[in-house]
Amino acid sequence: MSEPVQSSDPDDVFRLDGEVAVITGGGSGLGLGIARCMSQAGAKVILVGRREAALREACASIGKAAIAEPLDIRQFDHVDAMVARVSERVGPISILVNNAGNYLKRTAVETDAGAFGEVLQTHVLAAHNLTRAVLPGMVSRKHGSILFMASMASLMGVPNIIAYSAAKSALVGMVRSLSTEVSPHGVRVNAIAPGWIESAMLRQALESDPPRKAKILSRTSMGRFGAPEDIGWAAVYLCSAAAKFVTGIVLPVDGGASSGF
């Protein structure tokens, strides 16, 4: 693997040449948007997810810089083998994007312990397990970037998604703790808190709830939903040399939703 770009030239400082990025949930939605942008910035991207056909299709749309790694990240004991396989095939993993997640819309009373636990398992436990697997290599090379996908639900109260809100809020705590722990070793840890971004998940959430859609747009000062590449380019920035002094932050990319009224 070539050395990551360290130039201060504005044409280079946002590049990811030489980086190997593992992106969970990379076959669709935000994960695919991030993968496309990172690939355009020069990174090799490894798309991880449960649906092999979707991953293959996503890789074909990106090109030779993309590789599919079918894996259910909740199978904790399979993750080390995936990391070893990617490292041998492509090179040491220098970027991890913990993007995979699931969504549960239920009132607090309707959310039993089993359903709550399933959401935490995917968002929190699986993300930690992946992070644990890639960290030793990053620390030994004194180079790495770990990115978590937080949410507007990490920053404000959103009704009827208590498990999802708890999981996304837990990621913010992980970012703060982990960044303090590993930043002295050359590994940066950050999060993006996406606003409401056009995706299949968003359409599913809003198609039967027009008042909620109207409320979201009314409090988003830019008056529209975002696009996956809005998150993708923010991810490129946070994982690039342009952000080499940035760690432990949660970056809202939300069209003004978290600061509007």
Average pLDDT of the residues of the chain: 93
* Segment 99-132, tens digit of pLDDT: 998 888 899 999 999 999 999 999 999 999 999 9
To the nearest whole percent, how much of the chain has pLDDT over 90? Answer: 83
More reliable by pLDDT, 234 or 11: 234
Residue pair 98/147 in contact by the 8 Å Cβ criterion: yes
Tell me what the mean pLDDT of segment 164-172 comes to: 96
* Residues identified as active-site: 164
More reliable by pLDDT, 25 or 203: 25
Residue with tokens 């980086």: 19
Tell me what the mean pLDDT of segment 184-199 comes to: 95
Say what the pLDDT of residue 106 is: 92
Residue 98 pairs in a beta bridge with 148
Cα–Cα distance for residue pair 142/137, rounded to 1 Å: 8
CATH superfamily of 20-197+228-252: NAD(P)-binding Rossmann-like Domain (3.40.50.720)
The single-letter DSSP state of residue 197 is B
Cα–Cα distance for residue pair 243/51, rounded to 1 Å: 33
